[in-house]
Amino acid sequence: MEVAESGQGARVRALVCLAVYIALDASLAAYEHAVEVAVRSGASPDEMMGVLFAVAPAVGVARVVSAAPKLASAMGFDVDRAMEYLTTNGTEATSSP
């Protein structure tokens, strides 16, 4: 069996795809598709967010900052609501919105 045919291979490919999208500053639609594939392949939310940290040294902080809200939105987080909460309650707020 080739690695590409195994479930593990599909998960790794999906995570690598997310890394490429971060490097390319892809659209939200691209992230939505990539997250859907990653979830179907068994990738966890922590693994998907971990890709941001893994690629940061190679792609730079600007790409990671650009990618983070798109990836979070694609994963189902309401980024606009979180930003509104922080704006209303101050950035020192420690509880979740």
Bigger pLDDT: 14 vs 2: 14
Contact 4, 13 (CB under 8 A): yes
> Rounded CA gap, 12 and 48, in Å?
10
| Res. 3 pLDDT band, cuts 50 70 90 | very low
Q: Residue 2's pLDDT is what?
A: 45
Inform me whether the pLDDT recorded for 80 exceeds 60.
yes
Q: Residue 42's pLDDT is what?
A: 94
pTM for this one?
0.76
Exposure class string for 27-38: b at 16+ Cβ within 10 A, else e = eeebbbebbebb
- Which residues make Cβ contacts (< 8 Å) with residue 86, sequence separation at least 6? 93, 97
